[in-house]
Structure 1
Amino acid sequence: MSRRMLANSSAVSRLTLSRRTFVQGTAAATASLLLGPPAFLRGQNLNSKLNLAIIGCGGRGGANLSSVKHENIVGLCDVAASTVDRVGQQFSGAAKFTDYRRIYERAKEFDAVVVSTCEHTHAFATLPALQLGKHVYCEKPLTHSIWEARVIREAAAKAKVATQMGTQIHAGDNYRRVVELIQTGAIGPVREAHVWVSRAWGRQSAEDAKTHKDIVSVMERPAGSSPIPAGLDWDLWLGPAPERPFHEVYYPGPKWYRWWDFGSGTMSDLGSHWNDLPFWALKLKTPRAIEASGPPPHVELAPASMQATYEYDAREDMPAVKLTWYQGVNKPTIWTEKGIPQWASGVLFIGDKGMLLSDYGKYVLLPESNFKDFKPPEPFIPKSVGHHEEWLQACRTGSPTTCNFEYAGLLTEANHLGNVAYRTGKRIEWDSVNLKATGCPEADPIIRREYRAPWKLI
């Protein structure tokens, strides 16, 4: 075997809200337009295809739709009417909407929902589907806040439907081989792990600007406004977020995710992909404590660069571990001192017997000289049928998914905790049962924020 081993690329409120209460509680001031035919395309006997409703058709929504378009697409929804019209040309029989709540008024006509809205409306588009017993695929991050993640986890557990968060790289062979190596002790017990990404989208420091000169980043909220694009329902796009005039710095995506009102920055976005690997391999769930550092937090904008360290207690057969996240210009000391290969983004596991460095498509055991005769275990995590296909198969058969909302909810909660520690500037001692940062009341409105009236989740 070669020295470098490469893998192939590839107690919270219970959810008792009635459907009518949900619709009334989240009703916008003006109902959005029903754009298409008066009924969903019916196809229950169409080659056993699933009837799918697609909420969010542009950007990531378009990519998700492309992966499930072989099913029976019965409903299309996007707050931009032009997007619905454009995408609808491929699915002429599908009903077309700009308001996802109209879809749920016809719940009997579909089996499952694909949610690809902006982060701040994920929970609002996902929860009614779970309450109605519909299968759900939701783009990452699962929710905009920790409290929302707990609500969705509980609702999914109660619904017992097929769920999947859109962390597509989870289906790749490389992650599976790394998980097998860590869990079979290839580098011994792991007590330290590091995750870094080079992306520097957000409010930039002077150091960010020097290192990432090609990144254009807004520094403050614009004073004026821009003309609202024709067909965009801006009020509906804002949804539960605080009201503000439309401006092109927020829309279209991914501009919005730099702003705390709509997203959570690089941490929750890329963290869903990169922290996924140690979360899976090290059997992580709930951190005991979190502390973060970076430039002074901004009230409106997520940072381009920062880092956060999580402390996890011992789990099953694994010892306590510290996991540190870095983004932008921040990197682990062992990286800056050239103690490991200079990969732009990566995951480093440090064990008692060596190290494992991985990215999306490859890994290497370090120091390589120590592992020249190493033989990896026989693969025991089955090859994925594909991230979307895994969910579709689960909808039909009840088979498991690997990024179900129980797993994804815990991962989302942990990622958001990094931002809580950063924004409060305090070490967080985390009370997971009560969703409280012990002794840090200023964290409360970040953990669970107030919604713009009349929007309510539960």
Structure 2
Amino acid sequence: MSMSNEEKSTATKSNLSRRNFIKSAGIATAAFSIVPRFVLGGKGFIPPSDTLYIAGIGVGGKGESDLTGFAKNPKAKIAFLCDVDERMTANSRKNFPNAKFYRDFREMFDKESKNIDAVSVSTPDHTHAVATMAAIQRGKHVYVQKPLTHNIYEARMLTEAARKYKVVTQMGNQYASADYVRVTKEWVEAGLIGEVTNVLTWTNRPVWPQGIPTPKGKFDIPKELSWDLWLGPVKPMDFNPAYLPFNWRGWWNFGTGALGDMACHIMDAAFRCLPIDYPSEVECSATTAWEDFFKEANYVDSCPASSIIHLKFPRKDGKGSINFTWMDGGLIPKRPEELLPDEQMGGGGNGYIFEGTKGKLMANYQSMPVLLPTSRMKEVELPKPTIPRVEGGEAGHYTQWVDACIKGYGNMELSSPFDYAGPFTEAVLMGNLAIRSYAMRDGRNYPGRKKLLWDAKNMKITNFDEANQFVRREYREGWTL
């Protein structure tokens, strides 16, 4: 929800928060005692000034594991839980029995804002931005599951807001903290494959239904579910169990398809290693659904079963551009000629290949890279580590954010702050803009492989105005940014 100017002023002033007040009070009380606080508090005591009080919004499924990840840092305290579906909350309420529970994050903020330092958002994609913006405008640090937002406009707005309110941010693409991403960057920077000109990425997702008819029928809303709150910014519609608790990913109203689920992991290596941010153009093709012979189905509410997306990124160093291909639904690129017939391409159905002027690099997104041909691994002297590692790797993604919140804005480097994750998310979601434009009907869809030209500064497609409706969404009253 949007805040008044008076509320925003109050939120900014609240950076003199309970924690800062306690720190100030500690100076005064020091005059009366020379006994250290850790002695008074006992072994392992974490003083209140060094405790991060976290509110979780969306606490089932991934939200449950996110909260567990934060709690591994002894400085984190899960103080509040918020979820619209109580069927999903049992484990988190058991794990954090002292945390106060709410259904509506807006009510939680109205009543508890002064008691909250930071917020974790792990709702379905369509409510990421409204919950996150409400937290940021109140001066709260935020951790948001990937993809950062449901659309391009939201990613830009959150990035700008985080910078304005000076809050510590992290997107939940936890593999951004893994060692193997840093190894890839070290190899690229060492020139082992020369200048990268082409990147290929792929995933076996979706593993949930896509490319299907819109579900119909009238169903009773479970008593544990606040359906209207679950819809959030989406216009009112009938409840259907086909959307919950996980299959929302395949519907444009709520999810962002295979790209939203996996691209923030698989494409991360390229964005972390290469001098790119916003694409200049995009084109795509997608699986067609059929109802009968020669009769194409009009399944525009559902993400496609598979797609191929081609992006072009101008290099920020001015040295030309880099071509980028994304494939999902089990589609994969042609095997590199350098790969032997019995050698596996990527792994686990998800991978990437960097093609450079002096060679190629390949990896599963959860494994160390290899040079191609693989014989080069024994022939080339691999560079020594130069990039600092995140303690704990993927698990450290959570504790890293907690520590950064304790230290304060700008005092600690993070793996995926919004300054990085925002432009990255915009580029990822550019693929969905192309897919949705490709799927338009009644004669307005662009034929064949027409390119969409992107003006990143103004967030606008310049050669097919109808596509711009997918840059942002219409928000229901009470759920605006």
Deviation of 1:338 after TM superposition, in Å, equals: 6.7
1:217 and 1:304 mapped to 2: Cα distance? Answer: 5
Aligned with residue 452 of structure 2, among 428, 436, 452 = 428
- Segments of structure 2 that go 5 or more residues without pairing to the other structure are 9-44, 289-297, 439-449
Deviation, structure 1 residue 422: 1.9
Q: Say if 1:116 and 1:173 are closer, same or farther in 2 by CA, change over 3 A.
A: same
How far does residue 221 in structure 1 lie from its aligned partner after superposition? Answer: 1.2
Shift of 1:82: 4.1
Letter of the structure 2 residue corresponding to residue 266 of structure 1:
A
Aligned equivalent of 1:234: 227
CA distance in 2, matches of 1:384, 1:114: 20
* TM-score of the two chains, using structure 1 as the length reference: 0.84
Larger radius of gyration: 2
For residues 448 and 111 of structure 1, the distance between their equivalents in structure 2, rounded to whole angstroms, comes to 29
Give me the whole-angstrom Cα distance separating, in 1, the residues matched to 2:472 and 2:321. Answer: 28
Match of 1:48 in 2: 50
> Structure 1 pair 119/336, CA: closer, same or farther in 2 (3 Å)?
farther
Question: What amino acid is aligned across from residue 96 of structure 1 in structure 2?
Answer: F
- Residue 189 in structure 1 maps to residue 190 in structure 2: no
Aligned positions of 1:25-44 closer than 5 A: none
- The one of 210, 225, 232 equivalent to 2:218 is 225
Unaligned runs of 5+ in 1: 1-14, 22-42, 203-215
Query: For the structure 1 residues 217 and 441, does the alpha-carbon distance in structure 2 shift closer, same or farther, using more than 3 Å as the test?
Result: closer
Does 2:276 match 1:284? Answer: yes
- Indicate if the aligned counterparts of 1:282 and 1:318 stay in contact, CA closer than 8 A: no
Equivalent in 121, 132, 142 of residue 126 of structure 1: 132
Segment drifting more, 416-425 vs 256-265? 416-425
Other-structure match for 1:57? 59
Residues 58-113 of structure 1 show CA distances to partners (whole Å, capped at 9, x for unaligned) of: 01100101111242111110001344455223323221100001221121111111
CA contact (8 A) 1:294 1:305 kept: yes
The one-letter code sitting in structure 2 at the alignment partner of 1:79 is: V
Contact 1:289 1:310 in 2 (8 A): yes
Cα 1:421–1:336, aligned 2, differ >3 Å: closer, same or farther? farther
Q: Aligned letter for 2:286?
A: G
Q: Is the 8 A contact 1:142 1:165 kept in 2?
A: yes
Tell me, yes or no, if the aligned pair for 1:190 and 1:318 is still in contact at 8 Å. Answer: no
Q: Does 1:176 align with 2:189?
A: no
Q: Which residue of 1 aligns with 2:239?
A: 246
Deviations 1:406-448 (A, max 9, x none): 1111111011101111221342211111110112211222111
Instruction: Map residues 329-344 of structure 1 onto 2, 5 A cutoff.
Output: 329-334=330-335, 341-343=344-346, 344=349
Q: CA contact under 8 A between 1:149 and 1:412: conserved in structure 2? A: yes
Cα distance in 2, alignment partners of residues 97 and 368 from structure 1: 54
Amino acid across the alignment from 2:462: T
d(CA) in 2 for partners of 1:129 and 1:318?
40
**Could you tell me whether the CA contact under 8 Å between 1:294 and 1:422 is conserved in 2?**
yes
Q: Does 1:161 align with 2:167?
A: yes
SS at match of 2:197: strand
Aligned partner of 1:403 in structure 2 is 416
Q: 1:251 to 1:88 in 2, by over 3 A?
A: same
Distance 1:17 1:335 in 2: 56
- Residue in structure 2 matched with residue 109 of structure 1 by the alignment: 115
- Structure 1 residues 318 and 197, CA gap change in structure 2 (3 angstroms): farther
What is the distance in 2 between the residues matched to 1:175 and 1:318? 23
Alignment partners' CA distance in 2, 1:292 and 1:17: 42
Which residue of the partner structure matches residue 392 of structure 1?
402
Question: Matches of residues 274-313 of structure 1 in structure 2 within 5 Å?
Answer: 274-296=266-288, 298-313=299-314
CA distance in 2, matches of 1:227, 1:379: 57
Q: Is the partner of 1:388 in helix, strand or coil?
A: helix
**CA–CA distance in 1 between the matches of 2:143 and 2:322?**
31
Distance of 2:62 and 2:118 partners within structure 1? 18
**Quick one: which amino acid aligns to residue 232 of structure 1?**
L
Letter in 2 for 1:449: R
The SS at the match of 2:261 is: helix
What is the aligned length? 408
Whole-Å separation in 1 of the counterparts to 2:174 and 2:478: 34
The letter for the 2-side match of 1:434 is N
Q: Secondary structure at the match of 2:56?
A: strand
Q: Which amino acid aligns with 1:87?
A: S
- Cα gap change, 1:336/1:445 in structure 2, threshold over 3 Å: closer, same or farther? farther
In structure 2, give the amino acid aligned to 1:251: L
TM-score (norm 2): 0.80
Which letter maps to 2:220?
P
C-alpha distance in 2 between matches for 1:92 and 1:330: 45
Structure 2 equivalent of residue 152 of structure 1: 158
Aligned to 2:445: none
Q: Which residue of 1 aligns with 2:468?
A: 444
CA distance in 2, matches of 1:268, 1:108: 33
**Residue number in structure 1 paired with 2:24:** none
RMSD in angstroms over aligned alpha carbons? 2.3
- Structure 1 CA distance for aligned equivalents of residues 195 and 320 of structure 2: 7
Give yes or no for contact 2:64–2:91 (8 Å, CA) kept in 1.
Answer: no
Q: Partners in 2 of 1:390 and 1:346 — Cα distance? A: 26
Shift of 1:46: 3.9
Whole-Å Cα distance in 2 between the matches of residues 225 and 176 of structure 1?
50
When residues 357 and 317 of structure 1 are mapped into structure 2, their CA distance, relative to the original with a 3 A threshold, is farther
Identity of aligned residues (%): 37
Out of 261, 269, 272, the position equivalent to 2:264 is 272
Describe the superposition over 1:346-402 as per-residue Cα deviations: whole angstroms up to 9, x where unpaired: 110011111000111122101123453211212111110210111111111131212
Which residue of structure 2 lines up, in the alignment, with residue 36 of structure 1? none
State the distance in 2 between where 1:163 and 1:441 align. 33
Separation in 2 of the partners of 1:357 and 1:167? Answer: 20
